[in-house]
Amino acid sequence: MDPIIRLENVSFSYKINEKTKVSVLKNISLSIFPGEYVAIIGHNGSGKSTLSKLLNGILTPDHGEVWVHGHNTKDTNKKRAIRQAVGMVFQHPDNQIVATIVEEDVAFGLENIGVPREEMKKRVDEALNVVKMSPFRHRPPHHLSGGQKQRVAIAGVLAMQPECIVFDEATSMLDSFGRKEVIQVMRQMNNMGMTIITVTHHMSEAAEAGRIIVVEDGEIVMDGTPREIFKHKQELEALKLEVPSVSQMAEVIHRQFADFSRDIIHEHEFIGEVEEFLSGGVGS
Ligand SMILES: Nc1ncnc2c1ncn2[C@@H]1O[C@H](COP(=O)(O)OP(=O)(O)O)[C@@H](O)[C@H]1O
Ligand SMILES: [Mg+2]
């Protein structure tokens, strides 16, 4: 299978002025395949947002190439096709809402590309349905909660029918309830076949993905399944990252009760293990 996004020896630096450049990404090679659910983690300033913006041509590399469906992001004739294939959702829901009524906001991008009215209506209905915001379609977005606003922003991206959506810390401004709502939408979209890339500093959120990429100082330092990545507690700590809190708790219990599994990364696994333990299944 061909990758949907391929980075080949990509380096990127920000130009501060004529003389000064800040080198951010260093020789990154990476392939993202259709249908993947990828989390990108790394501490502040490691280059995650810069990397995200290279994935759909908002930024282009100084060295190396980024290919989206075989189109080079440096090819200005392909910019529109690339932006359409890879949508982006950012951190602040307020900065992404442009209209005064929810359904108009979701339709905004479609209007810009001249989608016919009937088709537009259909796509807005479907997108609002996926993010479970249909009952709010006639409301003004500024009355919504953070999680609801973010879901409206997602619907706007979804209506453009991208093959891949990149979420750059899209849950970081939300409370835990809003975050769960948005993660649920990500999972649902992935189940529908969409490629999902999410930048997050919540390890429980990264654990939901099928693959985690760890970025440190502009380089990829780990790439594997959540279960593989979270086995490397010490390496992660050295990168100022943690394992999910349920993994930490399981580890503490495991030290006292060796039969209690330490191989736990999800809340539901932890609860299951505790239930089994308390019912005498483990350790008896
Ligand atoms: N527009 C910019 N101009 C100059 N430097 C920037 C700009 N954006 C980010 N940087 C610098 O690039 C580095 C990586 O930033 P970023 O990609 O935002 O990291 P992350 O998203 O992992 O926090 C940081 O040192 C940051 O200060
Ligand atoms: Mg960032």
State pLDDT tens for residues 188-200: 999 999 999 999 9
Q: Which of 253, 254, 211 is nearest to 230 (CA)?
A: 211
Is ligand 1 within 6 A of the CB of residue 20? no
| Ligand approaching nearest to the C-alpha of 42 | 1
Instruction: Note down the domain range covering 52.
Output: 5-225
Residue with the nearest Cα to atom 13 of ligand 1? 45
Residue with the nearest Cα to atom 7 of ligand 1? 14
Distances 120 to 78, 88, 103, 117 between C-alpha atoms, Å: 23, 20, 10, 5
What was the pLDDT predicted at 73? Answer: 97
Instruction: Return the CATH number at 160.
Output: 3.40.50.300
The ligand 1 atom nearest the CA atom of 46: 22
Is ligand 1 within 6 A of the CB of residue 21? no
User: Is there a domain that residue 267 lies in?
Assistant: no
Query: What count of other Cβ atoms lies within 10 Å of the Cβ of residue 129?
Result: 12
User: Is there a domain that residue 277 lies in?
Assistant: no
Q: Measured between alpha carbons, how far is 90 from 170 in angstroms, rounded to an integer?
A: 5
User: Is there a domain that residue 231 lies in?
Assistant: no
Mean pLDDT of the chain: 94
User: Is there a domain that residue 249 lies in?
Assistant: no
The ligand 1 atom nearest the CA atom of 53: 17
User: Is there a domain that residue 265 lies in?
Assistant: no
pLDDT at 277 over 80: yes
Q: ∠ CA 168-97-115 to the nearest 5 degrees?
A: 100
pLDDT by residue (tens digit) across 136-145? 999 999 989 9
pLDDT grade for 168, boundaries at 50, 70 and 90: very high
pLDDT by residue (tens digit) across 242-265? 999 999 999 999 999 999 999 999
pLDDT grade for 281, boundaries at 50, 70 and 90: low
Most ligand 1 atoms within 8 A of CB, residue of 28, 50, 167, 215 to mutate:
50
Q: Which of 65, 144, 141, 60 is nearest to 108 (CA)?
A: 141
pLDDT by residue (tens digit) across 4-42? 999 999 999 999 999 999 999 999 999 999 999 999 999
Q: ∠ CA 72-168-157 to the nearest 5 degrees?
A: 70
Q: Which of 96, 95, 103 is nearest to 123 (CA)?
A: 103
Asked if 63 and 11 touch (Cβ cutoff 8 Å), the reply is: yes
Q: Measured between alpha carbons, how far is 163 from 70 in angstroms, rounded to an integer?
A: 14
pLDDT at 284 over 70: no
Helix 267-278 crosses helix 245-256 at what angle (to 10 degrees)?
30
For strand 164-168 and strand 86-89, is the pairing parallel, antiparallel, or unpaired? parallel
| Ligand approaching nearest to the C-alpha of 41 | 1
User: Is there a domain that residue 245 lies in?
Assistant: no
User: Is there a domain that residue 251 lies in?
Assistant: no
Most ligand 1 atoms within 8 A of CB, residue of 17, 48, 49, 169 to mutate:
49
The ligand 1 atom nearest the CA atom of 44: 23
Is ligand 1 within 6 A of the CB of residue 49? yes
Q: Measured between alpha carbons, how far is 102 from 16 in angstroms, rounded to an integer?
A: 38
Q: What is the 3-state secondary structure (H, E, C) of 206-266?
A: HCCCCEEEEEECCEEEEEECHHHHCCCHHHHHHCCCCCCHHHHHHHHHHHHCCCCCCCCCC
The ligand 1 atom nearest the CA atom of 43: 22
Average pLDDT estimate for 169-187: 90
pLDDT at 176 over 70: yes
Query: What count of other Cβ atoms lies within 10 Å of the Cβ of residue 284?
Result: 7
What is the 56 CA–ligand 1 centroid distance (Å)?
Answer: 17
pLDDT grade for 173, boundaries at 50, 70 and 90: confident
pLDDT by residue (tens digit) across 77-92? 999 999 999 999 999 8
User: Is there a domain that residue 263 lies in?
Assistant: no
Is ligand 1 within 6 A of the CB of residue 210? no
Structural domain tally of the chain?
1
What was the pLDDT predicted at 96? Answer: 86
